Structure 1
């Protein structure tokens, strides 16, 4: 007599196995994510940054600076780079017509520390990885002495100091060298004090002082890629070293934004300071952070 129960059990087993194969994620799918391909989370995949969404921004609408987003960093005495400005709160910023204006002004006789004022703004929120983009127009090219910057510092600067905290210069400019901008990173292993900084060098941008441009960075656990205007227009790439550590890659932790105009200094004042250029203004249209969420 044939065992019909055995045949039925085999049939049920085969059906269940087929269902399990159909329902289980493929080797390319995330364990959680319902069909999202693993390559979509590969920071080197062509479509990776196309999946980034806006997670934070300041569009500088209205007529006042957001105290929830920014704080003033004030002080004097050269800031370690032999600069001439004092950074003050409130008096050197204006929000109007959809932009933030940061102003450098001459308030004394000139040529000495404290004869100029400016503003240095720090974001209250910090970020790890993402597409960081600032749309800005640099001060009108009228002479030597300005050193505007859009940049980031590691949150742990108060405990480990600079350059161990890491510095990311999304855009730097010196007015004695008009129509050129710079992208640079600093760390213990790579910094300008030792002459070992990693930098793009001067990048020609003829309308930097006349037009707004997008200065951006694509920042992942494997690299930082700096661009102008479009994420396809990569100007400078710094990749995480193969043997990385806190000395050469302190870029896997939170960083905050800074925006300022310095006057004079070791770099900005290399060709002197022209006292006829003040007041000078840098305008910022927005600061935006996009991230790929998994």
Structure 2
């Protein structure tokens, strides 16, 4: 009698656990790969998929690098990886060079899963980012266009990875940005997959398929100033030096060059 009862209880617990696991996992709908770069052709980044943002004006954050175009010292494909390299070398008004790759005008997406497998640079003063901007920035202003930060990392706080949404009402200038963070013990030593899953009413931030932060239209509001995500966005990959956040604790001038290494970029819808 006791054995039968215990067996029944065990079966009930296992059933409930399985049901709970199914509900909690919230598996995404099946998606199709619509765009990718596997970085399997050595040389400069593929100009059919990427172009460059160029300049040394600080990019709104008092960054210290000058972004250059079509220069293998700063952006190249080697050994199956995209390497974005920041170097300590003077160019015009800046003491560092680097690269900022964008898909603007080439590939832009509305909704889907955007994922990037990357290894982040270590060192005080490094500020790598994988992020997106609303394509309407060409005829409006930031942050009304919206900004999705899939991954940001600052070298003085090693292995703490941030995901954020900036809008006109919620942004870092006002101190109202919507952000989450996760400690990834091997972020600078190994490759990890950084992703967002984006629907009409929700944005989930994930690392290695672990969801660590979410925002919803219901929570933020449906106005354009609150939720500007119902439009195409383009992707940006860059490695900044110093700046308002990356340089909060100074820049170690002895560590350069430093590399952001990317294994692949994949977009599913």
Same fold (TM over 0.5): yes
Contact 1:148–1:172, Cα closer than 8 Å, also in 2: yes
Write the distance in 2 (CA, Å) between the matches of 1:62 and 1:151.
Answer: 24
Q: Secondary structure at the match of 1:277?
A: coil
| Correspondence 1:244 to 2:226 | no
Give the drift of 1:158: 1.6
Contact 2:134–2:147, Cα closer than 8 Å, also in 1: yes
Contact 2:90–2:97, Cα closer than 8 Å, also in 1: no
Write the distance in 1 (CA, Å) between the matches of 2:156 and 2:135.
Answer: 32
- Give 2:68's match in structure 1, choosing from 88, 95, 100: 88
Structure 2: runs of 5+ lacking an equivalent? 1-23
Give the drift of 1:45: 10
| Correspondence 1:272 to 2:254 | no
| Correspondence 1:223 to 2:205 | no
Q: Displaced runs of 4+ in structure 1, greater than 3 A?
A: 44-47
Give the drift of 1:90: 2.2
Larger Rg: 1
Write the distance in 2 (CA, Å) between the matches of 1:156 and 1:108.
Answer: 33
Give the drift of 1:144: 0.9
Q: Secondary structure at the match of 2:139?
A: helix
Write the distance in 2 (CA, Å) between the matches of 1:156 and 1:194.
Answer: 22
Write the distance in 2 (CA, Å) between the matches of 1:274 and 1:179.
Answer: 17
Q: 1:34: which partner in 2?
A: none
Contact 2:61–2:244, Cα closer than 8 Å, also in 1: yes
Q: 1:60: which partner in 2?
A: 39
Structure 1: runs of 5+ lacking an equivalent? 1-43
Q: Secondary structure at the match of 1:244?
A: coil
Superposed, 1:1-294 pairs within 5 Å as 46-47=26-27, 49-64=28-43, 65-91=45-71, 92-108=74-90, 114-123=94-103, 124-139=106-121, 141=122, 143-200=123-180, 202-230=181-209, 233-241=210-218, 243-291=221-269
Contact 1:84–1:113, Cα closer than 8 Å, also in 2: no
Write the distance in 1 (CA, Å) between the matches of 2:152 and 2:205.
Answer: 12
Contact 1:78–1:113, Cα closer than 8 Å, also in 2: no
CA RMSD of aligned residues (A): 1.7
Give the drift of 1:245: 1.0
Q: Cα gap change, 1:45/1:135 in structure 2, threshold over 3 Å: closer, same or farther?
A: closer
Give the drift of 1:241: 2.9
